[in-house]
């Protein structure tokens, strides 16, 4: 249902660390708690929120011209005179010019590009114009106007060809090789430069094998079959085996590889890794057979041990602890290192926790998560004084592990709120920028996706002080999702009023009361799901403030005896809040009011979460959360818990400690 994690902030260690937490809901917002500590610094001379109002007549003309762009120079000039300095005029000019781009004069297009630097409209026009220049084979002009900033792959291929045709042949072949080494098939626009590259002495079977490896990692077997034409006979057999092992990894033990080689070991390592993802015991047996045949070199053994250990760890199986010491992790294999410690935590192997943390790179070792578990392990092994020093340091921070550390030593939570204070002059300057005016006017017209595009282009042009001013402008205009994302760009985490706003407050509190929910937890979940962007859609198809999947929405509508008119119904904040709050209550009822389990179920699905429960006895909730197999859901639960505490602070409520929201996670028979 809530399968995406829209614009929540990045996580940064330190005093103002953005929270990565979880929340367990036990009911209403009453009950004992700790009183919030407040630390606020307001700007001495507050800036004024910019007003961006334009005559309705201009807006009406714009809307009509978007539907029916001008067709003649005279009509365009008349329209331009009518709209004057209206900020969205470039959209109309773009619509006018693109109608006959194939016959347009160079001067008119190039004048537009020179007068309209930056922004989506200029990008669209530049890309269309470059496509026309490539079709005309006007390579000199193409080179003049090409920009590789986020250029589509087809234009990048045209650029490589343009370089070749204008005398930069060595650079053209370098660029062509970089483009050709893709795990996916590439557009036909790339065929001309690739034909040149493939016939040059820069190309070899080794390069083809390299691309086969990239394609196999993405499971693109069709591309692999195509690439095999560039290989010699022995390598073709290996590539064919590689494809067979992808489809049927059980064949690994009997695989025929011909002579032993580095490439053969690469194929066998891939096959045994793939088998171990689903059948770790079969992979262990296959490894023994390969060893008997003399085919289990270091590459194969390490691939097998690594994947077997990870599979057991993801299944919360104690056998992970037997396999972890058999691995030889690369210095950058943080996935293996993290799961080694998480598994040891889950099974109360505290000495292994300390050993696993000790081999991590220093930067990883100093993350709050591992500081917390190091302190817990020290505590469990009788080194309470060392543990307390770590807890005291962590407790100064506003994040999940900081709050847990405060609970451990009985300290108050440190919210460390400090409002940003942009200079009024900088706010005024940013507000006058053309991109700012376009973005805010598009928002006023309800064209939110276009407004977000303009805002993203704007931010790329600003320095740090200007970005702070932009976040303040977005916030004062109640554009909360952009304010949150904007301030995250410059890693300013301490303005809790901006980062944790209270839009829809009356509606959210009414639904919290209706369903006996914590309003802070409901705010926290919405903040994590959508950052209060009402029209956001995830890649998985979830929609709106509470990121409801259409099928789930249809089911909820039936349960509430409401009519279902389709997915767009979920774009209504009223409907989305109705459905999402009802669904959260349902998840809580299904998990005995356990907010961490309910939040995990909201994100990943109740049936899946039940498979993550311990088979027998209950276990520590913090250890369980750190062993959730989905990275997204792990982070989601931590953040919902942390954000709930922050929203209690923002709402002026007594703050429930995380330890009181984290009862032990019951075994499967306990739900």
The catalytic site residues sit at 529
CA gap 66, 526 in Å, rounded:
34
DSSP string for residues in 509-535: HHHHHHTT--HHHHHHHHHHHHTT-TT
| Contact status, residue 631 vs residue 639, Cβ threshold 8 Å | no
| Contact (Cβ atoms closer than 8 angstroms) between residue 529 and residue 598 | no
β-strand partners of 619: 665
Q: Which residue has the tokens 């089911």?
A: 555
- C-alpha distances in angstroms, 57 versus 54, 86, 119, 528, 586? 8, 11, 25, 39, 49
Contacts of 180 (CB under 8 A, 6+ apart): 186, 190, 194, 197, 207, 211
Query: Residue 423: what are its φ and ψ, rounded to 5°?
Result: -70, 140
With beta carbons less than 8 A apart as the criterion, state whether 149 and 140 touch: no
- How would you class 374 by CB atoms within 10 Å of its CB: exposed for 0-12, middle for 13-18, buried for 19 or more? buried
Three-class secondary structure of residue 324 per DSSP: helix
**If residue 412 lies in a helix (H) or strand (E), which one and from where to where?**
none
Distance between CA atoms of residues 19 and 639, nearest Å: 6
CA distance 381 to 620: 17
SS3 of residue 665 by DSSP: strand
With tokens 């001495």, the residue in question is 44
Phi, psi at 9, each rounded to 5°: -70, 160
Backbone angles phi, psi at 474, to 5 degrees: -60, -40
Q: What angle do CA 580, 585, 590 make, to 5 degrees?
A: 125
Number of other CB atoms surrounding residue 279 within 10 Å = 16
For residue 439, the tally of other CB atoms under 10 A from its CB is 31
Are 159 and 178 spatial neighbours (Cβ–Cβ below 8 Å)?
A: no
Query: What is the chain's Cα-based Rg?
Result: 29
| CB-based contact 125:95 (threshold 8 Å) | no
End-to-end alpha carbon distance in the chain: 21
Rounded Cα–Cα distance for residues 580 and 570 (Å): 10
- DSSP 8-state code for residue 500: S
DSSP 35: P
> Other C-beta atoms within 10 Å of 340: how many?
27
Contacts of 271 (CB under 8 A, 6+ apart): 242, 245, 246, 249, 251, 252, 255
């Amino acid at each position: 249902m809530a399968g995406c994690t829209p614009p929540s902030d990045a996580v940064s260690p330190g005093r103002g660390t953005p929270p990565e937490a979880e929340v367990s809901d036990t009911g209403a917002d009453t009950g004992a708690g700790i009183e919030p500590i407040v630390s606020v610094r307001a700007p001495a001379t507050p800036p004024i929120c910019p007003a961006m109002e334009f005559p309705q007549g201009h807006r009406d003309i714009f809307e009509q011209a978007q539907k029916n762009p001008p067709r003649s120079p005279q009509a365009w000039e008349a329209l331009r005179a009518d709209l004057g300095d209206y900020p969205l005029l470039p959209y109309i000019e773009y619509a006018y010019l693109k109608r006959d781009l194939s016959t347009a004069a160079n001067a008119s297009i190039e004048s537009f590009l020179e007068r309209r630097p930056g922004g989506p409209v200029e990008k669209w026009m530049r890309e269309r114009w470059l496509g026309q220049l490539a079709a005309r084979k006007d390579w000199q002009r193409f080179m003049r106007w090409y920009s590789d900033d986020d250029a589509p792959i087809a234009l990048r291929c045209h650029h490589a060809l343009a370089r070749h045709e204008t005398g930069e042949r060595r650079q053209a072949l370098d660029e062509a090789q970089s483009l050709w080494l893709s795990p996916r098939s590439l557009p036909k626009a790339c065929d001309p430069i690739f034909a040149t590259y493939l016939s040059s002495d820069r190309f070899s079977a080794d390069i083809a094998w390299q691309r086969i490896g990239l394609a196999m990692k993405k499971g693109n077997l069709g591309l692999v079959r195509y690439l095999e034409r560039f290989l010699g006979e022995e390598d073709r057999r290996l590539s064919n085996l590689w494809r067979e092992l992808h489809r049927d990894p059980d064949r690994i033990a009997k695989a025929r590889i011909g002579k032993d080689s580095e490439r053969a070991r690469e194929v066998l390592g891939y096959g045994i890794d793939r088998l171990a993802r689903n059948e770790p015991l079969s992979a262990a047996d296959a490894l023994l057979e390969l060893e008997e045949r003399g085919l289990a070199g270091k590459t194969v053994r390490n691939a097998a041990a690594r994947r077997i250990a990870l599979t057991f760890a993801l299944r919360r199986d104690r056998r992970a602890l037997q396999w972890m010491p058999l691995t030889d992790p690369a210095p950058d294999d943080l996935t293996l290192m993290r799961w080694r410690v998480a598994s040891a935590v889950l099974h109360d192997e505290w000495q292994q926790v300390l050993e696993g943390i000790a081999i991590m790179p220093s930067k990883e070792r100093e993350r709050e998560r591992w500081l917390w578990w190091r302190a817990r392990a020290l505590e469990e092994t009788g080194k309470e004084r060392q543990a307390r020093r770590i807890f005291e340091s962590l407790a100064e921070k506003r994040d999940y592990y900081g709050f847990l550390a405060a609970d451990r030593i009985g300290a108050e939570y440190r919210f460390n709120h400090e409002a940003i204070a942009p200079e009024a002059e900088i706010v005024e300057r940013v507000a006058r920028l053309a991109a700012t005016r376009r973005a805010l006017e598009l928002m006023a017209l309800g064209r939110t996706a276009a407004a977000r595009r303009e805002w993203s282009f704007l931010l790329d042009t600003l320095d740090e002080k200007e970005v702070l001013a932009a976040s303040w402008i977005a916030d004062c205009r109640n554009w909360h999702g952009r304010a949150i994302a904007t301030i995250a760009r410059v890693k300013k985490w301490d303005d809790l009023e901006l980062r944790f706003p209270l839009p829809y407050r009356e509606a959210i509190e009414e639904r919290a009361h209706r369903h006996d929910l914590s309003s802070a937890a409901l705010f926290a979940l919405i903040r994590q799901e959508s950052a209060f962007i009402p029209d956001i859609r995830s890649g998985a198809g979830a929609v709106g403030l509470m990121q409801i999947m259409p099928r789930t929405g249809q089911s909820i509508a039936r349960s509430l005896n409401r009519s279902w008119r389709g997915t767009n119904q979920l774009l209504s904040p009223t409907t989305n809040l109705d459905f999402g709050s009802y669904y959260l209550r349902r998840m809580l009822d299904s998990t005995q009011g356990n907010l961490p389990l309910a939040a995990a179920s909201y994100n990943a699905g109740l049936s899946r979460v039940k498979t993550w429960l311990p088979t027998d006895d209950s276990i520590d909730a913090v250890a369980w959360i750190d062993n959730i197999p989905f990275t997204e859901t792990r982070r989601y639960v931590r953040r919902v818990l942390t954000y709930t505490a922050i929203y209690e602070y923002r709402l002026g409520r007594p703050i429930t400690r995380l330890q009181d929201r984290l009862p032990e996670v019951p075994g499967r028979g306990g739900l």
